[in-house]
């Protein structure tokens, strides 16, 4: 490779489209996803179920079923992920990315010991001797708040609580020293107090290692709290991207604003809660025009006929014909 | 596996054998005539002196439970009484034929285990047309009854294509193998289909499971994923269904033995039943029931020992 | 008397899939109907006397007079198959009638009273389940002599656990639905709750189990006749025909065994497909 490493971001998803066969016929489940993660930064991908956020994340790891058709580009450190052959893909998964899944109870083999699960990534995919692997994961278990590592490693998954199992999964992901960590709703299956602990562990690990993170969630507030930038997906398309710090004040897409309004805020306790009318659409149900047009309060004729393309405003993007723009920002931009 | 599960299953085993033995002994008294005539071989007109001899030998005039206990304790000591039809001790008759049945069932069991698991696993792993073909063929194999399969095999592979001998059980290892091949295939085929279907479902379920996705996401080589996660996790279901299959082979061995004239305990029992030689039928059917129940219980216990969740589930149902 | 709450006026029912029956189930139902008709009218429909021997026309191939040829004593095979439908189907029908009626009653009793009675019934069924049906049939045949009595008695007992277990677990669920407690509170007599509510709600499940069970029972009865312990010659029962034709196979004349075997296979598969089709339609599941 002749071009310098830092010329391309760590992860660059550009105009990703995914077609999957549903009931025999190919259907577009992701229409257009654009996500960029620079080395060491955290990006949250926010959306309701069916929005295509989990499919986008799986595409980054090459985990989509063989029947999926992928268009557009997914590049990791400049290298195309869909273009990798099986051998390269395996090496890529074994060393450069790792994923923390939503439900640790289902995603950790119930018939094998915790120790087996933890060292497997190192011993089978990286050919690390098992003694060395055990030493390494024992240290990481301490780091994620599991002190009695020796005992835990001998146990089976059904003997551990959900919170502990999720820590085990995080430890397993960290053990391979990836450059990018993908976390697919890692706290959804857990109770509230455990959720906070798990998020804290991910945050600390990221800081200590300079890990890049793609954090997938349906929780806008949580997304803003743990990441540098927030990407919002709706019905298979990314509709908005902006810095997390400016989410509440500067969100331009009506869907993002509606999501913010439907959630109790820690900033504004007096604000009235409003739910979004209608039901969320899946990618394959998206109509011709703007996918959100049926539920949008600002809808115009052009929204139903023409799909809006992402357009920049400041250092953010929104795919909307009539983005919400703060008066002060507009004057600032034109000044 | 909890001690409670173990004791409940073993208690069930003893109870089943006791109740079955009571039914097997008691069945004799359901005859409209004198039970002693069943022990002579019911169809003939027996000598009253012989009948009296039998009545005292079998304690038929004692209270029912005393007679039962006498019969059962003799059985447990390996004394199965005398067959007046065959003019031989029942123990001797059984000893002569047990080997044939063991060989037939063992042969069929190997076919069921190897064939069923292999077909099911390959079908699930290959998917697509291979899986569709295997599913159709195994469903077909399950639908054909053993005795119909037997005549079909005789016609195809002994008459049209004279590859295998048909009657008798053969001398020496290779000859025995040749004689037992068609009976074993006829006996095994529907169970191969059954084991293959259950195996395919189990392997397919594991292939789609989330923990397999996790293993793949970590770059674990596919060969290792299949071995350590898919087959390892499906092995419990495969083992359990194979146990059921082998127990089923024992229950239907009689049909294959009769159809191919290989001889054996099943054929002996049927021949004795048609001659109403009760002493033989009682002994052989109790042996079959004991083996059947012991295998079923053994499979349950081993399954529970390997996967403690099974004992918890089965305990909850009762 | 107070009016019943609206929620109670309609009994909860199992979810049903609406729409058309799939073609496979329809074909299976047609085949079953055809064979039931043959069982009822068989002897009237047979072109020849099924027991008329013709020593000059032994093991003949298909011809205008004998569409399927003749057997080893010159009897018309088609007529024997048609006439034999009755003997072949009647015994499993008796087995299923007895085991279904008895099993449903046992299941309802166990589910209704629960406690030690339920545990006793379940334990007893486990014991019966440990006794293979075929071996029980051979034992009973040894006592009563060869004939259809032995297989009917033995298989009725052997099939009891299969039907009772399924109906019992459904009955336990049904028994604990709130509407049953409400009916009891309203003072409805137990017999009325059983006959008007529990039984009708369980009926689709019972029907499905009986249909699937019929195929297996037919198979077992035919196997016992094949072994010489069921129907006796010269009955044209199909299992017996398979056995009768066996010696001719070695002489290269497989037709008697083959046709009878195919007839058994077709009926068993038809009952099985009909049962699973009914299960999808009546219970909304693939049993």
State the pLDDT confidence band at C105, using cuts at 50, 70 and 90: very high
The whole-number average pLDDT for the span C265-271 is 92
The whole-number average pLDDT for the span C135-155 is 90
Residue B104 has pLDDT above 90, yes or no: yes
Higher pLDDT, B226 or B313: B226
Tell me if B269 sits within 8 A of B79, measured CB to CB.
no
Q: What is the pLDDT of residue C3?
A: 36
Q: Does the distance separating the beta carbons of C250 and B151 come in below 8 Å?
A: no
CA distance A104 to chain B (A): 9
Are residues A67 and A132 both part of a single domain? Answer: no
Is residue A2 one of the residues assigned to a domain?
no
CA distance C164 to chain B (A): 14
Is residue A99 one of the residues assigned to a domain?
no
Positive or negative torsion for Cα B168, B173, B177, B183:
positive
CA distance B169 to B261: 8
Q: Does the distance separating the beta carbons of B214 and A107 come in below 8 Å?
A: yes
CA distance A164 to A162: 6
State the pLDDT confidence band at B55, using cuts at 50, 70 and 90: confident
Closest CB from B151, B282, B285 relative to C242: B151
Q: Tell me, which fold does domain C22-48+67-283 have in CATH?
A: MetI-like fold (1.10.3720)
Q: Does the distance separating the beta carbons of B145 and C223 come in below 8 Å?
A: yes
User: What b/e readout covers C62-74, taking b as 16+ CB neighbours within 10 angstroms?
Assistant: eeeebebbbbeeb
Q: Does the distance separating the beta carbons of A98 and B218 come in below 8 Å?
A: yes
CA distance A313 to A329: 9
Q: Which chain A residues contact residue B307 at CB under 8 A?
A: 111
Q: Which chain B residues contact residue A158 at CB under 8 A?
A: 309
Residue of B nearest to C124 (CA): B16
SS3 percent helix, strand, coil of chain A, rounded to 5, is: 40, 20, 40
Closest CB from B211, B216, B229 relative to A63: B216
User: Which partners does chain A have (≥3 C-beta pairs < 8 Å)?
Assistant: B
Closest CB from B12, B147, B159 relative to C252: B159
DSSP code, position A157 = G
Residue of B nearest to C224 (CA): B255
The whole-number average pLDDT for the span A149-159 is 90
Residue B112 has pLDDT above 50, yes or no: yes
Structural domain of A144: 104-177
State the pLDDT confidence band at C20, using cuts at 50, 70 and 90: low
Are residues A31 and A47 both part of a single domain? Answer: yes
Q: Does the distance separating the beta carbons of B15 and C123 come in below 8 Å?
A: yes
Tell me if B258 sits within 8 A of C123, measured CB to CB.
no
State the pLDDT confidence band at C14, using cuts at 50, 70 and 90: very low
CA distance A27 to chain B (A): 21
Name which of C167, C161, C176 is nearest C205 in CA terms.
C167
Q: Which chain B residues contact residue C242 at CB under 8 A?
A: 147-148, 151
Residue to mutate among A104, A109, A112, A174, with most B CBs inside 10 A, is A109
The whole-number average pLDDT for the span A247-262 is 87
Residue of B nearest to A178 (CA): B218
Residue C11 has pLDDT above 50, yes or no: no
CA distance C117 to C101: 19
Q: Which residues pair with B230 in a beta bridge?
A: none
Residues B241-280 pLDDT 10s: 888 888 889 989 999 998 888 889 999 999 999 888 888 9
Residue B41 has pLDDT above 80, yes or no: no
Residue A212 has pLDDT above 90, yes or no: yes
Least confident of A98-107, B151-160, C103-112: B151-160
Are residues A26 and A82 both part of a single domain? Answer: yes
Residue to mutate among B211, B222, B237, B238, with most A CBs inside 10 A, is B211
Q: Does B294 touch chain C (CB under 8 A)?
A: no
What's the ipTM?
0.86
From the number of C-beta atoms within 10 Å of its C-beta (0-12, 13-18, 19+), residue B19 rates as middle
Domain ranges (residues) in chain C: 22-48+67-283
Name which of B18, B58, B19 is nearest B35 in CA terms.
B58
Are residues A191 and A276 both part of a single domain? Answer: yes
CA distance A169 to C60: 74
The whole-number average pLDDT for the span C99-108 is 94
Is residue A27 one of the residues assigned to a domain?
yes
CA distance B32 to chain C (A): 8
CA distance B68 to B59: 9
Are residues A230 and A302 both part of a single domain? Answer: yes
Q: Does the distance separating the beta carbons of B145 and C143 come in below 8 Å?
A: no
Name which of A12, A62, A15, A19 is nearest A283 in CA terms.
A19
Residue A283 has pLDDT above 70, yes or no: yes
DSSP string, A69-100: EEEEEEEETTEESTT--HHHHHHHHHHTEEEE
Q: What is the pLDDT of residue A334?
A: 44
CA distance C89 to C99: 16
Q: What is the pLDDT of residue B230?
A: 94
Phi first, then psi: give them for residue A230, nearest 5 degrees: -120, 130
State the pLDDT confidence band at A265, using cuts at 50, 70 and 90: low
Q: What is the pLDDT of residue C58?
A: 77
Q: Does the distance separating the beta carbons of A121 and B220 come in below 8 Å?
A: yes
Per-window interface: B 197-216 vs A, CB < 8 A: 209-211, 213-216
The whole-number average pLDDT for the span C242-248 is 88
The whole-number average pLDDT for the span B178-199 is 92
Q: Does the distance separating the beta carbons of B220 and A109 come in below 8 Å?
A: no
Name which of C228, C20, C163, C138 is nearest B283 in CA terms.
C138
Q: Is B22 helix (H, G, I), strand (E, B) or coil?
A: helix
Share of chain B above pLDDT 90, in %: 43
Is residue A318 one of the residues assigned to a domain?
yes
Q: Which chain C residues contact residue B285 at CB under 8 A?
A: 135-136, 138-139
Residue A266 has pLDDT above 70, yes or no: no
Are residues A74 and A124 both part of a single domain? Answer: no
CA distance B93 to chain C (A): 17
Mean pLDDT of all residues in chain C? 85
CA distance B242 to B197: 11
Higher pLDDT, A80 or C252: A80
Q: Which chain C residues contact residue B318 at CB under 8 A?
A: 119, 122
Are residues A167 and A32 both part of a single domain? Answer: no
User: Which partners does chain C have (≥3 C-beta pairs < 8 Å)?
Assistant: B
The whole-number average pLDDT for the span B166-195 is 85
Is residue A278 one of the residues assigned to a domain?
yes
Q: Which chain C residues contact residue B19 at CB under 8 A?
A: 127
The runs of H, that is alpha helices, within chain C are 6-9, 23-45, 77-113, 115-129, 133-144, 149-175, 178-185, 190-193, 199-226, 238-250, 255-278
Residue C4 has pLDDT above 60, yes or no: no
Is residue A113 one of the residues assigned to a domain?
yes
Closest CB from B16, B145, B269 relative to C138: B269
Residue C128 has pLDDT above 90, yes or no: no
Q: What is the pLDDT of residue B315?
A: 43
Q: If you count residue pairs, one on A and one on B, with CB atoms under 8 Å apart, how many are there?
A: 71
Q: What is the pLDDT of residue A268?
A: 55
The whole-number average pLDDT for the span B292-318 is 71
Are residues A251 and A130 both part of a single domain? Answer: no
Phi first, then psi: give them for residue A12, nearest 5 degrees: -135, 110
The structure's pTM equals 0.83
Least confident of B41-55, B209-223, C175-189: B41-55
Q: Which chain A residues contact residue B215 at CB under 8 A?
A: 109, 120
Q: Which residues pair with A13 in a beta bridge?
A: A35, A74
Residues B152-162 pLDDT 10s: 998 888 888 88
The whole-number average pLDDT for the span C253-278 is 91
User: What b/e readout covers B84-113, taking b as 16+ CB neighbours within 10 angstroms?
Assistant: bbbeeebbebbeebeebbebbbebbbebbb
For strands A229-234 and A180-184, give the pairing: unpaired
Higher pLDDT, C99 or A66: C99
CA distance B273 to chain C (A): 4
Q: CATH code at A224?
A: 3.40.50.300
User: Which partners does chain B have (≥3 C-beta pairs < 8 Å)?
Assistant: A, C
Touching status, chains B and C (3+ beta-carbon pairs under 8 Å): yes
State the pLDDT confidence band at C6, using cuts at 50, 70 and 90: very low
Share of chain B above pLDDT 70, in %: 93
State the pLDDT confidence band at A30, using cuts at 50, 70 and 90: very high
Least confident of B105-109, B236-240, B309-313: B309-313
Q: Which chain A residues contact residue B309 at CB under 8 A?
A: 110, 158
Residues A45-74 pLDDT 10s: 998 888 889 999 999 999 988 888 999 999
Is residue A4 one of the residues assigned to a domain?
no
From the number of C-beta atoms within 10 Å of its C-beta (0-12, 13-18, 19+), residue A127 rates as exposed
State the pLDDT confidence band at A134, using cuts at 50, 70 and 90: very high
Residue B108 has pLDDT above 90, yes or no: yes
State the pLDDT confidence band at B42, using cuts at 50, 70 and 90: low
Name which of A296, A308, A169 is nearest A237 in CA terms.
A308
Q: What is the pLDDT of residue C36?
A: 92
Q: Which chain B residues contact residue C268 at CB under 8 A?
A: 143, 145
Q: Which domains does chain B have, with CATH numbers?
A: 3-90 (no CATH), 99-274 (1.10.3720.10)
Q: Is A318 helix (H, G, I), strand (E, B) or coil?
A: strand
Is residue A41 one of the residues assigned to a domain?
yes
Closest CB from A90, A92, A109 relative to B221: A90
Are residues A229 and A319 both part of a single domain? Answer: yes
| Chain A residue set in contact with B, beta carbons under 8 Å | 61, 63, 89-95, 98-99, 101, 103, 106-112, 120-121, 124-126, 158, 169, 172, 176
How many domains, chain A?
2
Residue of B nearest to C248 (CA): B155
Q: What is the pLDDT of residue B43?
A: 52
Are residues A123 and A56 both part of a single domain? Answer: no
Q: What is the pLDDT of residue A238?
A: 92
Are residues A168 and A186 both part of a single domain? Answer: no
Are residues A221 and A327 both part of a single domain? Answer: yes
Q: Which residues pair with A230 in a beta bridge?
A: A44, A242
Q: Does B313 touch chain A (CB under 8 A)?
A: no
Q: Which residues pair with A183 in a beta bridge?
A: A100, A215
Q: What is the pLDDT of residue B318?
A: 33
CA distance B219 to chain C (A): 37
Residue to mutate among B203, B204, B211, B218, with most A CBs inside 10 A, is B218
Mean pLDDT of all residues in chain A? 86
């Amino acid at each position: 490779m002749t071009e310098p490493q830092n010329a391309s971001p760590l992860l660059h998803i550009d105009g990703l489209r995914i077609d999957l066969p549903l009931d025999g016929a190919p259907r577009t489940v992701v229409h257009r996803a654009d996500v960029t993660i620079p080395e060491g930064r955290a990006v949250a991908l926010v959306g309701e179920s069916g929005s295509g956020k989990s499919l986008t994340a799986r595409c980054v790891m090459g985990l989509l079923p063989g029947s999926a058709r992928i268009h557009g580009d997914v590049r990791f450190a400049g290298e195309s992920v869909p273009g990798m052959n099986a051998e390269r893909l395996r090496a890529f998964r074994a060393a450069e990315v790792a994923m923390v899944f939503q439900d640790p109870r289902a995603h950790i083999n119930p018939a094998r010991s915790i120790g087996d699960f933890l060292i497997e990534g190192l011993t089978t995919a990286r050919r690390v001797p098992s003694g060395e692997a055990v030493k390494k994961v024992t240290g990481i278990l301490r780091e994620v708040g599991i002190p009695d590592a020796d005992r835990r490693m001998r146990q089976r998954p059904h003997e551990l609580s959900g919170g502990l199992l999720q820590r085990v999964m995080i430890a397993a992901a960290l053990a391979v020293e990836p450059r990018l960590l993908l976390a697919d709703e890692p706290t959804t299956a857990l109770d509230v107090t455990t959720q906070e602990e798990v998020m804290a562990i991910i945050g600390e690990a990221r800081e200590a290692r300079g890990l890049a993170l793609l954090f997938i969630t349906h929780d806008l507030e949580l997304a803003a709290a743990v990441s540098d930038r927030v990407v919002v997906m709706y019905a298979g398309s990314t509709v908005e991207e902006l810095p997390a710090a400016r989410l509440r004040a500067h969100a331009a897409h009506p869907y993002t604003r509606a999501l913010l309004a439907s959630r109790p805020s820690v900033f504004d306790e007096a604000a009235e809660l409003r739910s979004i009318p209608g039901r969320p659409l899946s990618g394959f149900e998206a109509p011709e025009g703007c996918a959100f047009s049926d539920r949008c309060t600002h809808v115009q004729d052009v929204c139903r006929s023409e799909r809006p393309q992402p357009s920049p405003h400041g250092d953010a993007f929104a795919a909307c014909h009539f983005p919400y723009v703060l008066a002060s920002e507009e004057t600032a931009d034109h000044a | 596996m909890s001690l409670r599960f173990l004791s409940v299953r073993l208690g069930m085993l003893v109870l089943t054998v006791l109740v079955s033995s009571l039914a097997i002994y008691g069945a004799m008294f359901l005859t409209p005539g004198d039970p002693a005539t069943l022990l002579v071989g019911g169809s003939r007109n027996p000598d009253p002196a012989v009948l009296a001899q039998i009545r005292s030998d079998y304690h038929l005039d004692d209270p029912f439970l005393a007679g039962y206990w006498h019969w059962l304790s003799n059985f447990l000591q390996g004394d199965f009484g005398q067959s007046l039809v065959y003019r031989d001790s029942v123990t001797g008759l059984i000893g002569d034929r047990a080997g044939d049945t063991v060989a037939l069932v063992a042969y069929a069991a190997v076919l069921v285990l190897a064939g069923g698991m292999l077909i099911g696993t390959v079908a699930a792993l290959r998917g697509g047309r291979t899986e569709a073909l295997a599913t159709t063929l195994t469903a077909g194999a399950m639908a054909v009854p053993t005795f119909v399969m037997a005549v079909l095999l005789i016609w195809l592979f002994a008459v049209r294509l004279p590859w295998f001998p048909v009657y008798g059980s053969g001398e020496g290892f290779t000859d025995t193998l040749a004689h037992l091949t068609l009976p074993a295939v006829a006996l095994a085929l529907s169970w191969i289909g059954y084991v293959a279907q259950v195996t395919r479902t189990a392997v397919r379920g594991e292939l789609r499971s989330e923990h397999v996705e996790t293993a793949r996401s970590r770059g674990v080589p596919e060969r290792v994923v299949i071995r350590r996660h898919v087959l390892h996790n499906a092995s419990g279901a495969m083992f359990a269904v194979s146990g059921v299959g082998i127990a089923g082979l024992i229950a239907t061995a009689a049909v294959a033995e009769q159809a191919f004239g290989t001889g054996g305990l099943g054929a002996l029992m049927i021949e004795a039943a048609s001659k109403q030689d009760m002493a033989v039928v009682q002994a052989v059917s109790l042996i079959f029931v004991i083996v059947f129940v012991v295998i079923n219980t053994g499979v349950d216990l081993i399954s529970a020992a390997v996967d403690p969740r099974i004992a918890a589930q089965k305990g909850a149902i009762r | 008397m107070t009016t019943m709450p609206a929620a109670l006026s309609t009994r909860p029912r199992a979810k049903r899939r609406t729409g058309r029956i799939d073609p496979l189930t329809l074909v299976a139902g047609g085949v079953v109907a055809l064979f039931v008709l043959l069982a009822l009218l068989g002897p009237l429909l047979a072109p020849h006397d099924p027991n008329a021997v013709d020593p000059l026309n032994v093991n003949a191939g298909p011809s205008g007079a004998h569409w399927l040829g003749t057997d080893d004593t010159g009897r018309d095979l088609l007529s024997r198959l048609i006439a034999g439908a009755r003997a072949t189907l009647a015994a499993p029908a008796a087995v299923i009638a007895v085991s279904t009626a008895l099993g449903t009653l046992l299941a309802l009793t166990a589910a209704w009273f629960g406690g030690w009675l339920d545990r006793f019934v379940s334990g007893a069924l486990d014991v019966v389940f440990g006794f293979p049906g075929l071996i029980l049939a051979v034992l009973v045949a040894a006592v009563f002599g060869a004939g259809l009595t032995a297989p009917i008695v033995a298989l009725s007992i052997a099939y009891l656990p299969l039907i009772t277990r399924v109906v019992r677990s459904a009955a336990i669920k049904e028994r604990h639905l709130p509407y049953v407690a409400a009916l009891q509170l309203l003072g409805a007599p137990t017999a009325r709750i059983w006959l008007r509510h529990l039984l009708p709600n369980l009926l689709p499940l019972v029907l499905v189990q009986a249909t699937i069970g019929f195929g297996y029972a037919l198979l077992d009865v035919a196997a016992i006749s094949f072994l010489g312990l069921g129907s006796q010659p010269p009955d044209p029962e199909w299992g017996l025909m398979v056995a009768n034709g066996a010696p001719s196979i070695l002489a290269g004349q497989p037709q008697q065994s083959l046709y009878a075997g195919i007839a058994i296979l077709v009926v068993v598969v038809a009952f099985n497909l009909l049962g699973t089709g009914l299960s999808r339609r009546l219970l909304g599941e693939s049993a």
